[in-house]
Amino acid sequence: MKNVLVTGGAGGIGTAICVAFAQAGCNVIVHCNNNKDGAKNLAKILGDSYNITTLAVAADISNRNAVNGMYDIIDMTMGSVDILVNNAGIAEQKLFTDITQNEWESMIGTNLTGVFNCTQEALKRYMLKKHEGVILNISSMWGQVGASCEVHYSASKAGVIGLTKALAKEVGLSGVRVNCICPGVVMTDMMKSFDDDTINELKEESPLNTLGTPKDIANAALFLCSDKAKFITGQILGVNGGFVI
């Protein structure tokens, strides 16, 4: 039974990913930053529902010491991480000229440095020693093509794509696969600030004329982390309804 760590596991997409892996029989480690109650509740529900071992951990992934402390807890309770899903992230809409230094550093710190911190530690502690493992990064379609008024977000997510491709080349011979999903517009809490007209406009821009759900991303994540995808690494999968082709 494999152990899966999902960063941002208590969020909309993160929760769906945790459920998908639990249903597949994996032990699930639910990471959060501030939503500790949500992570604990989700871990308990998954453990009770699917008869798996679960753990809730909290850490600011932009802080390496906090990440190391998180992995120390995982070492003591779960033993190792076989699959890492770097899902945690933040977003913000703002004119480029209005972005402050702190906002830039916060965006890069969580969305890109967080991926670096969690991935490097998982590789050093477990995957390189065992000569096996899977890393899945969650980027965004805006990391592929860029979004107006989301320059810092787009830059951070583009960095995740570059990290994925380069790392896949580096650790392939060590038996570790690294892939990336770029979600399109997905109906999560992040969409609550958009009015109905804007949501309908986004639907119309998609060839499928619909928006995604967290389960759409979770299904793709489960596949890329499974043995069915054992010949897939360094790939960027757009799950966006055709919004970006």
Residue type, 52: I
Contact 34, 66 (CB under 8 A): no
Calculate the CA 242 to chain-centre distance. 21
Q: Which residues are catalytic?
A: 153
H-only helix segments in the chain: 12-23, 36-50, 64-77, 101-108, 114-122, 128-130, 141-145, 151-171, 196-204, 214-224
CA distance 95 to 109: 19
Supply 206's token pair.
């998609």
Q: ∠ CA(30), CA(34), CA(37), 5° rounding?
A: 60
Supply 75's token pair.
């070492």
Over its length of 245 residues, how does the chain's per-residue pLDDT go in tens digits?
999 999 999 999 999 999 999 999 999 999 999 999 999 999 999 999 999 999 999 999 999 999 999 999 999 999 999 999 999 999 999 999 999 999 999 999 999 999 999 999 999 999 999 999 999 999 999 999 999 999 999 999 999 999 999 999 999 999 999 999 999 999 887 777 778 888 889 899 999 999 999 999 999 999 999 999 999 999 999 999 999 99
CA distance 7 to 18: 10
Q: Which residues pair with 157 in a beta bridge?
A: none
Supply 107's token pair.
């965006």
Closest CA to 88 of 160, 156, 138, 36: 138
